[in-house]
Amino acid sequence: MLDVIQLLPDNIANQIAAGEVIQRPASAVKEMLENAIDAGATQIHLIIKDAGKELIQVNDNGKGMSPTDARLCFERHATSKIKSIDDLFAIRTMGFRGEALASIAAVAQVDLKTKTESDEVGTHLQVENSMVKLQEPCQASTGTSLMVKNLFFNVPARRQFLKSASSETRHIVDEFIRVAMAFPHITFQFTNNNTTVFHLDGGKLKQRIVGLLGNQYMSKLVPVEEPTEVVTIKGFIASPDMATKTRGNQYFFVNNRFIKSAYLNHAVSQAYKDLIAKDEFPVFVLFIDIDPSRIDINVHPTKQEIKFEDERIVYSFVSAAVKHALSKYSLAPSLDFSLNPEIESLQSITQPFSSQQQTATKNDYLFQSFTEKGKAHFLENKQDIRNWKDLYKIQHEFELQSTHSQPINLSSQTIEKELTNLDSNNPLDLQEEFQQQFLQIAQGYIIVTTKNGFLVIDQHLAHQRILYERYEHATTNAISIQQCLIPQTFELSASDAILLQTLLEELLLLGYHIEPFGHTTFIIQGVPADVKAGHEKKSIEKILEALKHEQSDIKLDKREKVIRTMAMQKAMPYGKNSISMKCKNCLPNCLPVNNPNYHLSVKKFLLNLI
């Protein structure tokens, strides 16, 4: 029998590893920036073109590499940080596995120039598909310049599944912000297609937060500092009035490494409870310093998910630290134990409690029931519960009526047959079929009587469908724009600004007239008429939030995503009884049957609902 097991070639093994480590251009950016930080750089410049697909370049003034190290760094599992198993549990550097450069070189064309301070000349390497094409001396300044060209050029399937340029650029911006936020003492510069996006001088953390998130946080940041025996928590949180409708401005760093943890995010949200709305998210930048032996950062290739030795203790400390900061700076409500002047003027406060009144109070049954042990649960007037059997008479009579009543056939076949009998060519048939009798149940469902029975309509989903079709036809019948008397300006994070920039044309057809106003600032000139005054910015933030976290398996274009998002956001929510207040005209208002398109869509919707 022939042997069938064989070792994979290095280039194929590296491409397989790259599938885990380098998922998109932003993954390469993260690894390259972290390598520059580990090299001790104080100035780092990131340059990208075509969302990183054409070029990703990182220049730093770190300690550089010798010719031998420059050659070995592209080998898999080559690292300078791990020498024994004990070192793995004392990691404080950003990279340590030695997979980053090897994985990048397996799926891109890499050009490296590096030089140490002691060397007279630098080293120039060109690597393609894990194979060294060129290695020669060159003139270079101290530090490293790493260029990654044509990412995924040899893996066309991976390149094809990359998202749009704006989406990939947003991911790169997010990674840049996370790294720059963790190291405020380093000077960072970010250039996208020859345009400077960020230029951040080294300084303090508050200065870095304002430089990355916007000047509106200058006077709204509250310091957090809680040293404990287990962990040290420091950083900044924003005042409750700066809470946003979108996620993204929540940053947790463990030993200066950005992590994602819904569990710890919940700890901060609990501290802000009753201070912000349920659909708002607090802004915070928190650093957790902990003994590396108490955590495991080697659980995921991207190193953004870690495990704590005891996550519940960290949760408690984070929540307590945020609460302490909020109360310390008078941002959280405090208990006022001073009496109200109206209460102080009451007779029970102004007049003394005489001995006669004390004796009468002690003989009172209510006082005795709470002062004598085991008496508080007793009832004084036991005759009140003697007629408990009468409570079941109503239920017994209802059961008798139900026994003699005819059951209602609510099968889907019956309702489908009833709907099929309607003439789709005549939209008025639907209006004639429905009688003017409506009932709203639990402020979320409408029961509509018909000639042969009734239908149950989910008001939220039905309203979604109606809004969807209205927005879908906005290309021919553009939604009217209500111009703002005073245009409003608002500022977004860098990634949100890139997303909004790509949606301006679609939003204009849907009633939002928004114009760029420089860098990450936009100006609202007009909004749809159904947007309440003062909610213009919130409505836009809701759209951005839904689009950022849209996880549909179906590949949709931008316009379709915006339409679906707006329909879901603006549909009448559960718990509102505005429909029952319009019972006489409920069907024409909520299910506009005068339009054949709506007639057919509602008909399909009701069938799907069943």
Q: Could you read off the pLDDT of 467-485 as tens digits, one per residue?
A: 888 787 766 666 778 888 8
Whether residue 507 sits in one domain with residue 456: no
Task: Identify whether 27 is part of a domain.
Answer: yes
Same domain (yes/no): 456, 580: yes
Q: Which two tokens stand for residue 524?
A: 């609202």
Amino acid 23: pLDDT: 84
Say if residue 169 is in the same domain as residue 286.
no
Chain segment 162-219, per-residue pLDDT in tens: 888 888 898 999 999 999 999 999 999 999 988 888 999 999 999 999 988 888 888 8
Do 291 and 231 lie in one domain? The reply is: yes
Same domain, yes or no, for 227 and 301? yes
Domain harbouring 530, CATH code: 3.30.1370.100
Query: If you count them, how many residues does the chain have?
Result: 610
Domain finish residue from 288, 306, 328: 328
* Helices 165-182, 205-213: crossing angle, 10 deg rounding: 170
Do the domain assignments include residue 604? Answer: yes
564 with 585, same domain: the answer is no
Domain containing residue 62: CATH number: 3.30.565.10
Average pLDDT over residues 272-297: 86
Please, which pLDDT band fits residue 582 given cuts at 50, 70 and 90?
Answer: very low
Residue 374 maps to a domain: no
pLDDT in tens, 444-468: 777 777 767 777 788 888 888 888 8
Q: Residues 161, 59: one domain?
A: yes
Domain-ending residue, one of 200, 230, 249? 200
Kindly tell me if the per-residue pLDDT of 599 is higher than 60.
no
Residue 44 has pLDDT above 90, yes or no: yes
Name the pLDDT band for 537 (thresholds 50, 70, 90): confident
Q: What is the pLDDT of residue 14?
A: 67
Share of the chain above pLDDT 90, in %: 18
Name the band, by pLDDT with cuts 50, 70 and 90, for residue 56: very high
Structural domain of residue 291, as residue ranges? 205-328
Asked whether residue 5 is domain-assigned, the answer is no
Do residues 186 and 286 both lie within one domain? no
Of 223-227, 253-257, 488-492, which range is least confident? 488-492
Among 328, 354, 374, give the residue marking a domain's end: 328
pLDDT mean across residues, the chain? 76
146 and 234 together in one domain = no
Query: Collapsing DSSP states into helix, strand and coil, what is residue 533?
Result: coil
Containing 481, the helix (H) or strand (E) segment is: strand 481-491
Residue 360 maps to a domain = no
Same domain, 39 and 143: yes
Q: Domain tally for the chain? A: 4
Q: Is residue 380 domain-resident?
A: no
Residue 351 lies in a domain: no
Residue 100 pLDDT: 80
Question: In this structure, are strands 187-192 and 43-49 parallel, antiparallel, or unpaired?
Answer: parallel
Same-domain pairing of 487 and 555:
yes
Q: Nearest Cα to 417, choosing from 286, 606, 189, 274? A: 606
Q: HSE of 534 in the Cβ direction (CA atoms, 13 Å)?
A: 0
Residue 342 lies in a domain: no
**In this structure, are 38 and 128 located in the same domain?**
yes
Say what percent of the chain tops pLDDT 70.
Answer: 69
For the residues of 46-73, what is the DSSP string, one character each? EEEEGGGTSEEEEEE-S----HHHHHHT
